[in-house]
Structure 1
Amino acid sequence: MIVRRNLKLKMILHYTWRQLAYYLFLSTSIVVLHDIYEIVIFNIPSYTIAALGTALAIFLGFKNDHAYDRWWEARKIWGLMVNYSRAWTRQVTTMVMSLDSHENEEIKAFQKTLVYRHIAFVNALRVFLRIKNTYNKDQSEMFEDDNTYADTKPFLSEEEYKIFCSQDNPPNYLLQQQGSDLNLAFRKGWLSDYRFVKMEETLVDFNDIQGMSERIKNTPLPRQYTFFSRVFVLIHCTLLPMVFVSELGWKTIPIALAVSFVFLALDLIGERTEDPFENRLEDTPMSSLSVTIETNLKEQLKESKINFPKKYEPENGIVF
């Protein structure tokens, strides 16, 4: 997620230089042909491009609105992850109990296992949503490279980690293990019927969070919006210098380039916002949220601050 208020020119040009180079070459060529060689490519009325520009602006606005809805829904889903994670740890530390004082140490170890496995689940879901797009990337793309299941290893036993890594859906495996341990606690008498049901409901909430995240990840914004917006922007910006050249002459080049950049930027904003789990700089900051969750949960376990993860700091104005 971009947190810097002002974007660097270098970053903007990284994503737009190819298209801007085309529009600059096109505008210059049309002006040269018109003013020097007196060759008129097209004689297009200005009201035609005005009507096309209005329709394109509405289309891009519709696309960007829906793209932002997807990004904001993803952020709200991971906001729920933070809230339910805190609630889960509170339930683990206050509901799992025994009247037999001899079991206190065993229960504390059991509570830590449940909380640590949940931290592993949070990291596993982050990786699960991003890892499909970690490979086959444009090498010039900026993304978080520390995105592997190894992040879960400190929170799982060695045997459990091996099984975890072999699963098709590792986060779901961890939730299954949490349910099995709750059942074990119930059979040992550490949970009453009511407390068992309440904690199981929280696990269902985590299932819902995973399912909602997978829905956004696996169901993109209808690709016809992305395809046709790109085509319409190309058509509109290609026609611009042909309309301006007869009235503006050499001024056509900077003006056409500026107008083209506006529509190009609107198109790119929607295209890069619509997929919030692609491990890119515009994505939902799941790494930062994972660190927040880990810190909060270890604090609830009353662990020493020495064991807290390093605070996540923005890198070049980007939070992953």
Structure 2
Amino acid sequence: MIVRRNLSWRGILHYTWKSLLYYLLLAVAVYLAHDHYQVAYLSMPFNTVTIFSTALAIFLGFKSNNAYERWWEGRKIWGLLVNYSRAWTRQVITMMIPEIEADAPAVKELQRRMVYRHIAFVHALRVFLRIKHAYNETDQEEIYEEANRYSDIQAFLLEDEFQAFYHKNNPPNFLLELQGEDLQQAFKRGWLSDYRFVKLEDTLVEFNNIQGMSERIKNTPFPRQYSFFSRVFVFIHATLLPFAFVSELGFATIPVSVVISFVFLALDLVGERTEDPFENRLEDVPLTALSLTIETNIKEQWGDEDFPVKQTTQEGIVL
């Protein structure tokens, strides 16, 4: 997530230089053909482009608003995960009560296992959402590198749990199943009453809901017709601009058309770079920072002071 107020022009040019080069070369070509070579029929009515510009601005505004809604929904979902993670840790610590003193060490170990398993769930969900679907060899390599990050979760799981977890089709969901099994065992052994069991199970269901809502955003792309036609319309609009300006502005056609085209291009890119918040890009929801926040909170509640290194802002970016 970009947190600095001023964006880097180097980064902006990285995504726009090809289009800007096209706008510049086209404007220069139209100006030279019209003013120096006197090519007829190169100009067009300005009102035509004005109407097109108005319609395109409305279309891009609609796209950007809906793309931002997807981003903001993703951030709210992970905000819920932060809140419920704190509640889960508190409930596990305070609601599991041994019936006899001899069971106290076993209860303490079960609590520790469930608390740290939840840290593993949070990190696993982050990695699971960021894994890309492969369509070529390059993407397959990216998947392999991202999947290897599951190795960071090994410290929070028992060895047999990690081996089973690593080969599951949906690793985060597998961890929730293990949590449910441990709750059942605690209930059978009398460490949880009916009411406390239901309350913990309700919190576990909320984690299922959070994962499901995250997967819905991840697996349901922004309607591709909006993305496709916005690119087409921005291209057509930028192509027509020099022809509308050349008879009125002359040489000024070049900078004016390039600047206006850049504005519409930027609006299109803002929507495109915002619509998928879990792709591990600069503009996405900062899942890594949120995961580390949850890990820190849970460890503090448990009494473990081995906190993860807090992620620092690098060049105005939080991942």
TM-score bracket, normalised by the shorter chain, equals over 0.9
| Equivalent residues of 1:133, 1:278 under 8 A apart | no
Q: TM-score, normalised by structure 1?
A: 0.95
Counterparts of residues 129-278 of structure 1 (less than 5 Å): 129-132=129-132, 136=138, 148-278=149-279
How many aligned positions are there?
314
| Equivalent residues of 1:41, 1:242 under 8 A apart | no
Instruction: Provide the rounded CA distance (Å) in 2 between the counterparts of 1:239 and 1:86.
Output: 56
Q: Residue 198 of structure 1: CA displacement?
A: 0.7
Q: Deviations over 1:54-93 (max 9, x none)?
A: 0000000000000000000000000000000000000000
Which residue does 1:20 correspond to in 2?
20
| Runs (4+) off by over 6 Å | 144-147
Unaligned runs of 5+ in 2: none
Q: Residue 158 of structure 1: CA displacement?
A: 1.0
Which residue does 1:315 correspond to in 2?
314
Instruction: Provide the rounded CA distance (Å) in 2 between the counterparts of 1:302 and 1:17.
Output: 52
| Equivalent residues of 1:131, 1:148 under 8 A apart | no
Instruction: Provide the rounded CA distance (Å) in 2 between the counterparts of 1:248 and 1:295.
Output: 60
| Equivalent residues of 1:30, 1:41 under 8 A apart | no
Q: 1:282 to 1:8 in 2, by over 3 A?
A: same
User: Secondary structure of 2:132's partner?
Assistant: helix
Q: Deviations over 1:227-280 (max 9, x none)?
A: 011101001110000110111111111100000000000000001100001111
Q: Deviations over 1:2-48 (max 9, x none)?
A: 11110011000000001001101100111111111111353311111
Which residue does 2:298 correspond to in 1?
297
- % identical equivalent positions: 61
| Equivalent residues of 1:130, 1:147 under 8 A apart | no
Unaligned runs of 5+ in 1: none
Q: Residue 150 of structure 1: CA displacement?
A: 1.3
User: Secondary structure of 2:2's partner?
Assistant: coil
Q: Residue 131 of structure 1: CA displacement?
A: 1.3
Q: TM-score, normalised by structure 2?
A: 0.95
Q: Root-mean-square deviation (CA), in Å?
A: 1.8
The one-letter code of the counterpart of 1:70 is R
| Equivalent residues of 2:3, 2:317 under 8 A apart | yes
Q: Residue 53 of structure 1: CA displacement?
A: 0.1
Which residue does 1:91 correspond to in 2?
91
Of 224-233 and 99-108, deviating more is 99-108
Instruction: Provide the rounded CA distance (Å) in 1 between the counterparts of 2:6 and 2:158.
Output: 45
User: Secondary structure of 1:254's partner?
Assistant: helix
